[in-house]
Chain A
Amino acid sequence: MSIEVKDISYTYMTKTPFERQALRNVTVTIEKGEFVAIIGHTGSGKSTLAEHLNGLLTPSTGTVCVDGVNLNGKGDKVRSAKHKVGIVFQYPEHQLFAETIYEDIAFGPRNSGKSEEEVEKQVRKAMGFVGLDYDAFSTRSPFQLSGGQMRRVAIAGVIAMDPEYLIMDEPSAGLDPISRDAIFAQLSTVFKERDIAVILITHSMEEAAQYASRLLVMAKGQIAIDGKTELVFKEQRERLQEVGVDIPESIKITDLLCEKGLKLEKQAITKEQLVQYIKKAKGWS
């Protein structure tokens, strides 16, 4: 069970002066049960790749298959393959459309033929997931909200569809830090319980380091690095710098401490690790 991307290329606005090749011969397979982060410089092709994974864009050359079904085709099989992939867009206002938050989130479950009772259950669950109070928000308009609230509705709408492959393009932009952590914590739980694949596109190296076990680094429309997150941040520092990608704050602190004479046993990724390693290095524990 996987999304299989085979040698795809994509060019925007072909045969115009604005022609731009955004993907070049990208090949990658993402299995169910993987939590993958895609990082990379602005314009490196992350969103373009994401939009191929549920058939929103069709590659100029190459193929994208979900559980063995080529998305570039017609019929029920293709439709149901596309339905397995849920995507939270980079700009949430692009995916909101209904009069109320309830209706917006209910769209997906209703579309998959659930009873109204089940739909409501699904909506309540999804709103809980993103920390929106059902009574306070379900009858409100999704367009008259704060930025962070709007993003939560967009995330809830996709969560309510119970996707088997969940793609999130910069989901935390505009979320306050504690809500972001809460949403990611729930995501990790769902990810483990339901054995789905999560593909997280992010400019936050902290998020990538904390949640993803595999890291895809994009540069100029190609996958420049594909490896275990921990190892990439440890062993590919020069290459990361070359492609204009940062490292997590916790690793910067690890480096700075080392430079000033306090050597930690390992590169810290989380705050807890950092605290633990510092205590150890100082002989405090």
Chain B
Amino acid sequence: MQPIIKVKNLTHIYTDGQNNKIKALDDINLAIMPGEFVAIIGTNGSGKSTLARHFNALLQPTEGKCFVNGLDISVDENIWHVRQNIGMVFQNPDNQIVASIVEEDVAFGPENIGIPHAEIRPRVEAALASVNMTEYAKHAPHLLSGGQKQRIAIAGVLALLPQCIVFDEPTAMLDPRGRKDIVKIVQNLNKEKHITIVYITHKMEEAILADRVIAMEKGKIVMEGTPAEVFGQVKKIHELGLEAPLSAEVAEALRQAGYELSRDIITDEELATALCQ
């Protein structure tokens, strides 16, 4: 099978307004397969957003290559394919809304890429249904809660029928309820619609829902594996300036104090089961 996203020796150097050169990505190699759910973690400035912005050609490599379905994102003719197949959802729900009525907002993407009119309506309806926002189709987005706006932003991306959606800290601004809604929707899109998910987060309870966790530091990928593999190495996680989910942290502290506990413990349920058997 061909990877949906493939990154080869990717380096990205920014030049800012003050002429500073900042190396944000340093020789990255990565392949993401269709249907995968990949979480990316890492400290502030480690390069997560910069990497993700290459996936749909919002940024171009300084050195190296990025391919989507085998197509080079730095070739102009491929950009259309890339943008249609890799959707992005960002942190701030307010900055992603463009229209004053929900259904128009969701229709904006498909209209923009020239989808025929007759096809747009069913796409918008399906997209709103996928995020449980059908009843808000005629509402004004700015009066919705942050979590609802974020669902509209996801619907807008879904209306393009992408193969993959990249989420850049989609729950950072949301209250616990909104956070739970979004996480559930993301899981459904992956499990039921087989959409490939790339999910950047600082919340380790969310990262453990992925099939694979990638940890970044200073523009490099420094750890990779299943959530249990990555968060089982609590010491290494700490060295990277990161934190494991609370249950994994507690299990590690108990192991440090000399008690036998499995390294696979990463959820509350697993911790409770291990302690109460």
Binding site for B on A (CB under 8 A): 18, 20, 40-43, 90-91, 99-100, 139-141, 143-149, 152, 170, 173-179, 203, 205, 244-246, 249-250, 252-253, 256-257, 259-262, 271, 274-275, 278-279, 282, 284
Contacts and interface: CB of A to CB of B under 8 A. Distances in A.
A137 to B, nearest CB: 9
Contacts, number: 134
Contacts of B276: 257, 260-262
A176 B202 contact: yes
A278 B250 contact: yes
Given A173-B173, A176-B202, A253 B268 contact: yes
B253 A271 contact: yes
A42 B246 CA distance: 25
A146 B18 contact: no
30 contacts: A18-B143, A41-B175, A41-B177, A42-B146, A139-B18, A141-B17, A143-B17, A144-B16, A146-B44, A147-B49, A148-B43, A149-B45, A152-B44, A173-B173, A176-B43, A176-B241, A178-B43, A203-B179, A249-B268, A250-B246, A253-B268, A253-B271, A259-B272, A260-B273, A260-B275, A262-B275, A271-B246, A275-B250, A282-B259, A284-B259
Contacts of A20: 143
Contact of B241 (A99, A178, A279): A178
B80 interface: no
Contacts of B14: 144
B269 interface: yes
Contacts of A148: 43-45, 202
Contact of B175 (A91, A203, A274): A203
B254 A278 contact: yes
A275 B179 CA distance: 27
Interface residues of B, number: 51
A108 B87 CA distance: 40
Contacts of B269: 256
Provide the main secondary structure of the chain A interface. Answer: loop
A256 B16 contact: no
Interface in B1-59: 14, 16-18, 20, 22, 42-45, 49-50
A253 B247 contact: yes
A253 B44 contact: no
B115 to A, nearest CB: 31
Interface in B225-277: 238, 241-243, 246-247, 249-250, 253-254, 257, 259, 268-269, 271-273, 275-276
A261 B204 CA distance: 27
Contacts of A203: 174-176, 179
Interface of B: 14, 16-18, 20, 22, 42-45, 49-50, 91-92, 94, 140, 143, 145-147, 169, 172-179, 202, 204-205, 238, 241-243, 246-247, 249-250, 253-254, 257, 259, 268-269, 271-273, 275-276
A141 B254 CA distance: 45
A207 B2 CA distance: 43
A36 B17 CA distance: 39
B15 to A, nearest CB: 9
A177 B243 contact: yes
B272 A146 contact: no
**Best-surrounded residue of B44, B250, B272 (most CB of chain A within 10 A):** B44
Contacts of B249: 271
A72 B269 CA distance: 52
A174 B246 contact: no
A22 B123 CA distance: 35
Contacts of A147: 44, 49, 91, 169, 172
Given A140-B16, A146-B50, 17 more contacts: A20-B143, A40-B175, A42-B147, A99-B17, A100-B18, A140-B18, A140-B20, A144-B17, A147-B172, A174-B202, A249-B246, A256-B268, A260-B273, A261-B276, A274-B246, A279-B254, A282-B259
Given A253-B271, A261-B276, A275-B253, A179 B241 contact: yes
> Which of A91, A139, A177 has the most chain B CB within a 10 Å cutoff?
A177
A246 to B, nearest CB: 4
